[in-house]
Chains A and B, each alone.
Chain A
Amino acid sequence: MGLLNWRFLEENIFKILMIFSILIVVGSLILIFTVIVFNGVSSISIEMLTQTSSPRFYLSKGGGGMLNAIVGSLLLAIPATAIAFLIGICIALYLQRDFIHPGISNFIRLCLDILWGVPSIIYGIFCMTIMIALGMSTSLLFGIIALTLLEIPIITRSIDESIKMVPLGLKESAYSLGSTKFETAIKVVRRQALPGIIAGVLLGLGRGIGDAASILLTVGDSNFIPTSIYQSTAALPTMILNLLSMPDPNVQSKAHAVAFVLLIIVLFISIISRTLTKKSTKYVIK
């Protein structure tokens, strides 16, 4: 059975390569976590979390903390996610077969997919162009707009996909009981697609907090927690970049602490997403 042995040899070689590959992938994640956690934990302190930065923050040791960046990131991401959700759910519901011609809905899905793949810096450029044209300066407002644009495709397509998976039978039962299209859309579909919707929204939120490129050009920087939507603000990702560009290694190590905080926040959102999705799946009919 010579040929059989060759065939298994080939399989075994590839099995070894597969194990290698999976070790590389898992290893990368472990590497990232270890590096950020190690370096972050050693640089972090209570002041860093509870104080805002002062000008000295970027020049030498001490000088306050990252509170303005934490609050700034939240003030950017939460409104952006909320608006993107509202817009997204309207679009996703409208894309369902009952409302429009499939050709149009496929075209819109294609547009959304392209927008999803667009590098986030493009949203930054787009908002920056408008900002300059209007003669305005970097602010919370444009950051929120940029993040909203970034999140719309993500949230919309997630919701769209989960609504698509609602079995046709459910919708048909609802119609036969006399609901209008709109009512069916809202009531029946919402429950069934809930896990997917939650996952999509939290995915968008995580993106909104972590993305640097879209806010880099639009948000500026500030040592204070913004009190108006027209003020510039600090944000966690931009703070990391600014700290890292300083020559003093003591200052650079603060970037590790900020990155650590950012990673924890993103991880936290991911865990919440998983838990909520599991919980809401109990309403879902398979």
Chain B
Amino acid sequence: MLNIHIETKNLNVTYHNNHVLKNVNIKIPAKQLTAIIGPSGCGKTTLLKSFNRLLDIRDDIIISGEIIVDNENILDHKGSDIPDIRKKMGLLSQKPSPLPMSIYDNVAYGQRIHNKKSKEELDEIVKHCLKEAGLWDEVKDRLHEPATRLSAGQQQRLCLARAIAVKPEVLLCDEPTSALDPISAQQIEKLLLKLKKEYTVVLVTHTLRQAKRVADYLIFLYFGEVVEEGSSHDFFNNPKDPRTKAYLEGEIS
């Protein structure tokens, strides 16, 4: 039996009077890549962002149910614990978003906030993370340039480096390749495949092909409801729900 890292129980999210997530009950396995798939606008991103309580910053949002991580319901926690909860989960957005600072400072950002590390220790961490993200060779000579000068693909890898710099347990990725050219997209996918050995990766994607390439476990979300979930093999070869079959065959998209 797989280890469960994140579990939701009866998760309901209402946003601007729209019932976006309806009674979502899922289990995300640890140290695997779970893909959340489904047509656009069905709540995939909302589900993802509920895991690190990023939904809190929006107006007009009502969340009920439980989200259990490491045996604790994170929805129970009060405001002062949230930064630590968020630290456990790194986020990679759809649009590459480097912070308005140098490449070095971007990666060091999280560490600087949480700890007092010496310059040498920070240098080490930055180097290690940039190497993990496959960016080190391209930027090692210009660490102190503004991060906005990088190309989109490089920026996305920078965001990845930044996310892993605080040693999260989970990586939440919201369609991270949809804004990138095919080559950069491929690089990111390769990185995710490498990283899933160390981190639990949750990937929102609306391309089935991408899910086929990288996912170990799939969750199909349709209009805010979980239609089907299962291992990649079971899902693609033996879909149980008719809606899943329709989606896989391209009848709904």
Contact = CB atoms under 8 A, between A and B. Distances in A.
Check whether chain A touches chain B (CB < 8 angstroms). Answer: yes
Interface of A: 1, 3-4, 7-8
Interface in B90-143: 113-116
B249 interface: no
Interface of B: 80, 83-84, 113-116
Contacts of B83: 4, 7
A1 B115 CA distance: 11
A5 to B, nearest CB: 8
Give the top 5 A-B pairs by smallest Cβ distance, nearest first.
A8-B80, A4-B83, A4-B84, A3-B114, A4-B80
A3 B83 CA distance: 12
B78 to A, nearest CB: 11
Contacts of A4: 80, 83-84
Nearest to B113: A7
B68 to A, nearest CB: 22
A3 B111 CA distance: 13
Nearest to B114: A3
A88 B197 CA distance: 63
Given A3-B115, A7-B113, A8-B80, 7 more contacts: A1-B84, A3-B114, A3-B116, A4-B80, A4-B83, A4-B84, A7-B83
10 contacts: A1-B84, A3-B114, A3-B115, A3-B116, A4-B80, A4-B83, A4-B84, A7-B83, A7-B113, A8-B80
A204 B45 CA distance: 45
A33 B72 CA distance: 53
Nearest to B83: A4
A93 to B, nearest CB: 34
A4 B113 CA distance: 9
Nearest to A1: B84
Contacts of A8: 80
Q: Identify the interface centre among B80, B84, B114, B115: most chain A CB within 10 Å of its CB.
A: B80
Contacts of B113: 7
Nearest to B115: A3
A4 B83 CA distance: 9
Contacts of A7: 83, 113
B155 to A, nearest CB: 26
A7 B84 CA distance: 12
A3 B116 CA distance: 9
Contacts of A1: 84
A4 B80 CA distance: 8
B96 to A, nearest CB: 24
B136 to A, nearest CB: 29
A4 B77 CA distance: 15
B80 to A, nearest CB: 6
Nearest to B79: A8
A78 to B, nearest CB: 41
Nearest to A5: B80
Contacts of B114: 3
B82 to A, nearest CB: 10
A201 to B, nearest CB: 32
B48 to A, nearest CB: 25
Contacts of B116: 3
B160 to A, nearest CB: 25
B107 to A, nearest CB: 20
A188 B228 CA distance: 48
A171 B116 CA distance: 55
A4 B116 CA distance: 12
B140 to A, nearest CB: 30
A73 B151 CA distance: 58
A3 B115 CA distance: 8
A2 to B, nearest CB: 11
A1 B83 CA distance: 12
A8 B84 CA distance: 12
B248 to A, nearest CB: 35
Contacts of A3: 114-116
A205 B80 CA distance: 50
Contacts of B80: 4, 8
A3 to B, nearest CB: 7
A4 B78 CA distance: 14
Nearest to A8: B80
B26 to A, nearest CB: 30
A237 B75 CA distance: 59
A3 B114 CA distance: 7
B27 to A, nearest CB: 29
A3 B117 CA distance: 13
A89 to B, nearest CB: 37
B174 to A, nearest CB: 24
A7 B116 CA distance: 13
